[in-house]
C-alpha cells in the first residue's frame, strides 16, 4: 500500500492503511459503497449515528430501500449508468429513512472507488437541516402561515438532535404576548416571559447577546429545570422585530458537561437571519391585509372586510344598511374636507351606538353597514332606533352646526348571514327612502 511521509523529518513514517481507515471510520458524514446491483457493500460508523441503522443491518440491502418514495425515481436516475459515465459532480439532496421511521434530508455526493480489484460507487451524505429549514420557511411564508408555523423549521438549522442541543425561539405579538417554538423545552427555559434580571430580559434590554457558561447564575427554579433537561451553558441572541419593537430571542442550550453553546455560532447566525426575515415578512403582510380591509378615511372595516366577515358568520343575526340624509349639500356648500370630517364623526357615533361585538363598516360614499351577528329581531329593531338617534345631535363642522340624518334598511335572518341578506337590507333601505316624505 505504501506509506505517507511524516510531517516532520526524522519521525517514523505513517502507514496509509490505518490513516485511510481512520478517515473513513471517524468521518462525520456517512459513507456507503454499492455495487452495480445497488446493494450496499460497506457502511461506515457515521451511518449509524446519522440514520440510526446498524451497519450490519444495512450491508447487503438495496440502497433504494432507504430513499423516500417521492425521491425514488430521481435517485435511480442519478445512479443509473455510473459505470459508463463516471461519478456525478456536485451535490444533490435526498430524503433518507431514519431507523425511527422519520425522513431526514441529506446532501449527497458520490464518487467511483476501487479496492484494487473491483470498482464501487461511493455515496457520501451529511445532514441538510439548513436546506430543509430554508425550503420549509419559504413554502410556509408563501402559503400565508403564521409566525409560529413559519419559525418552527428554523430550529433545524442547528442539527440539534445530533449535537444534543436544545433550541428555543421566542417573540412578542401585540395582543397575544410572548410566543415561542422550541425543541421540547418548557416555557421557562425559552425566554417567552418578561422577568427583569433574567438572561433573556438582559438580551432584550441591551440588544446584545448574553452568554451564561455557569447556570448557577440563574434563579433556582430555572437552574433546576435546566439540570432536569440535561442542559449546560446558555446563549441568548436577540433579533430585530420591526413589527412589535420587542427583540425576538434565539436561545441555545448546550448539553451538560458538553461543548459550550458558542459552538453553535453558525446556527445562531442563520437562525437570526431567518427569524428577522420571517417577522419582517409577516408584519408587512399583516399591514397589507389591514390596509386592504380598512377604509382609510374613517378607519372602519371596508366593503371587502364586510364580505370576509359574512363568510365567517355561520350564525344568523341582522344587517343594517345605513345611508346618510342631507349629506350632499354639505359637500356642495362647505367642501369635501368638511364632508370627510362629517363621515369621520358619523363613523364614531355609529360605533358608539352598536352592541359589543357588532361591526360597523363603511361600504362606500355615505353608506355604512352594521353587522349584528346573533341579534334577535327585537334586538335588531332596537339597534336601528339607536343608530337613528345617534344622528340627532348636530355635528360641529368648520365652525357650524351641521345636521345629518340617516335612513336604515334592516334585514334579519335566523339562517346564515350572507350576500342575500345584504341585498335584502339594501332593498329595505330603498323602501324606507321611498315611503317617507321628501327631505327639506
Element (H, E) at 373: strand 367-373
Q: At residue 78, does pLDDT exceed 50?
A: yes
Among the CATH numbers 3.40.50.300, 3.30.200.20, 3.20.80.10, 3.30.450.20, which is that of 3-127?
A: 3.30.450.20
Point out the least confidently predicted range of 108-117, 392-401, 426-435: 108-117
SS (H, E, C) 22-80: HHHHCCCCEEEEECCCCEEEEECCHHHHHHCCCHHHHCCCEHHHHECHHHHHHHHHHHC
Q: At residue 4, does pLDDT exceed 60?
A: no
pLDDT of residue 399: 84
More confident residue, 353 or 16: 353
Q: Say which residue the cell 350572507 belongs to.
A: 418
**277-305 b/e with 16+ CB inside 10 Å = b?**
bbbebbeeeeeeeeeebbbeebebbbbeb
pLDDT of residue 350: 97
pLDDT of residue 86: 55
Confirm if 317 and 372 have CB atoms less than 8 A apart. yes
Domain residue ranges in the chain: 3-127, 131-291, 303-435
Model confidence pLDDT, tens digit, residues 410-431? 999 999 899 999 999 999 999 9
Residue 40: how many other CB atoms lie within 10 Å: 22
Q: Say which residue the cell 473491483 belongs to.
A: 118
pLDDT of residue 59: 94
Model confidence pLDDT, tens digit, residues 172-207? 998 899 999 999 999 999 999 887 778 999 999 999
**5-39 b/e with 16+ CB inside 10 Å = b?**
eeeeeeeeeeeeeeeeeeeeeeeebbbbbbeeebe
CATH superfamily of 131-291: GAF domain (3.30.450.40)
Helix (H, G, I), strand (E, B) or coil at 248: strand
Given pLDDT bands bounded at 50, 70 and 90, which one contains residue 313?
A: low
Confirm if 278 and 136 have CB atoms less than 8 A apart. no
Model confidence pLDDT, tens digit, residues 139-171? 999 998 999 999 999 998 887 877 789 999 999
CATH fold of 303-435, please?
Alpha-Beta Plaits (3.30.70)
Model confidence pLDDT, tens digit, residues 205-249? 999 999 999 888 888 889 999 999 999 899 999 999 999 999 999
Helix (H, G, I), strand (E, B) or coil at 417: coil
The per-residue pLDDT of the chain, averaged, comes to 88
Model confidence pLDDT, tens digit, residues 264-284? 898 899 999 999 999 999 999
Confirm if 409 and 431 have CB atoms less than 8 A apart. yes
Given pLDDT bands bounded at 50, 70 and 90, which one contains residue 3?
A: very low
Cα–Cα distance for residue pair 151/161, rounded to 1 Å: 18
pLDDT of residue 82: 53
Residue 266 corresponds to which cell in the numbers above?
Answer: 453558525
pLDDT of residue 422: 94
- Give yes or no on whether 131-291 and 303-435 have one common fold: no
Confirm if 373 and 417 have CB atoms less than 8 A apart. yes
Residue 227 corresponds to which cell in the numbers above?
Answer: 439540570
Cα–Cα distance for residue pair 210/247, rounded to 1 Å: 13
Segment 74-90 mean pLDDT: 62
pLDDT of residue 173: 93
Beta bridge partner(s), residue 235:
211, 252
Given pLDDT bands bounded at 50, 70 and 90, which one contains residue 10?
A: very low
Residue 140: how many other CB atoms lie within 10 Å: 17
Residue 81 corresponds to which cell in the numbers above?
Answer: 449508468
Single out the residue of 135, 188, 183 nearest to residue 162, CA to CA. Answer: 183
pLDDT of residue 202: 93
Predicted model pTM = 0.67
Single out the residue of 260, 259, 204 nearest to residue 235, CA to CA. Answer: 260
Helices (H), 254-327: 265-292, 303-311
Cα–Cα distance for residue pair 255/163, rounded to 1 Å: 8
Q: Say which residue the cell 417567552 belongs to.
A: 192
Question: How long a stretch of residues is the chain?
Answer: 440
Amino acid at each position: 500500500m505504501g506509506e505517507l511521509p511524516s510531517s516532520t523529518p526524522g519521525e517514523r513514517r505513517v502507514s496509509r492503511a490505518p490513516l485511510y481507515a481512520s478517515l473513513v471510520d471517524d468521518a462525520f458524514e456517512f459513507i456507503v459503497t454499492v455495487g452495480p446491483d445497488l446493494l450496499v457493500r460497506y457502511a461506515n460508523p457515521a451511518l449509524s449515528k446519522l440514520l440510526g441503522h446498524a451497519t450490519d443491518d444495512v450491508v447487503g440491502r438495496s440502497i433504494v430501500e432507504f430513499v423516500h418514495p417521492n425521491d425514488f425515481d430521481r435517485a435511480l436516475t442519478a445512479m443509473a449508468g455510473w459505470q459508463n459515465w463516471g461519478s456525478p459532480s456536485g451535490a444533490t439532496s435526498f430524503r433518507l429513512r431514519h431507523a425511527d421511521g422519520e425522513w431526514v434530508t441529506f446532501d449527497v455526493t458520490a464518487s467511483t472507488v476501487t479496492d484494487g480489484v473491483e470498482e464501487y460507487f461511493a455515496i457520501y451524505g451529511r445532514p441538510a437541516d439548513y436546506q430543509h429549514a430554508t425550503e420549509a420557511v419559504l413554502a410556509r411564508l408563501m402559503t400565508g402561515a403564521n409566525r409560529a408555523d413559519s419559525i418552527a423549521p428554523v430550529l433545524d438549522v442547528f442539527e440539534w438532535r445530533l449535537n444534543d442541543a436544545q433550541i428555543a425561539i421566542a417573540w412578542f405579538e401585540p395582543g397575544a404576548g410572548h410566543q415561542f417554538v422550541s425543541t421540547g423545552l418548557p416555557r421557562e427555559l425559552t425566554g417567552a416571559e418578561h422577568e427583569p434580571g433574567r438572561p433573556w430580559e438582559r438580551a432584550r434590554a441591551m440588544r446584545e447577546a448574553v452568554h451564561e457558561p455557569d447556570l448557577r447564575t440563574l434563579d433556582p427554579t430555572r437552574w433546576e429545570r435546566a439540570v432536569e433537561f440535561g442542559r449546560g451553558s446558555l446563549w441568548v441572541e436577540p433579533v430585530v422585530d420591526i413589527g412589535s419593537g420587542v427583540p425576538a430571542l434565539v436561545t441555545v442550550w448546550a448539553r451538560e458537561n458538553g461543548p459550550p453553546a458558542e459552538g453553535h455560532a453558525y446556527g445562531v447566525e442563520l437562525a437570526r437571519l431567518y427569524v428577522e426575515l420571517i417577522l419582517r415578512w409577516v408584519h408587512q403582510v399583516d399591514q397589507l391585509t389591514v390596509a386592504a380591509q380598512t377604509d382609510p378615511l374613517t378607519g372602519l372595516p371596508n366593503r371587502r372586510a364586510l364580505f370576509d366577515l359574512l363568510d365567517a358568520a355561520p350564525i344568523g343575526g341582522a344587517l343594517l344598511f345605513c345611508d346618510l340624509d342631507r349629506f350632499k349639500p354639505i359637500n356642495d356648500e362647505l367642501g369635501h374636507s368638511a364632508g370627510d370630517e362629517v363621515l369621520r364623526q358619523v363613523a364614531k357615533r355609529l360605533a358608539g351606538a352598536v352592541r359589543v361585538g357588532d361591526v360597523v363598516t363603511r361600504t362606500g360614499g355615505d353608506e355604512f353597514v352594521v353587522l349584528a351577528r346573533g341579534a334577535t329581531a327585537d334586538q335588531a329593531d332596537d339597534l336601528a332606533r339607536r343608530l337613528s338617534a345617534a344622528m340627532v345631535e348636530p355635528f360641529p363642522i368648520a365652525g357650524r352646526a351641521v345636521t345629518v340624518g340617516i335612513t336604515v334598511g334592516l334585514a334579519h335572518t335566523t339562517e346564515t348571514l350572507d350576500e342575500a341578506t345584504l341585498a335584502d337590507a339594501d332593498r329595505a333601505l330603498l323602501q324606507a327612502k321611498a315611503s317617507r316624505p321628501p327631505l327639506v
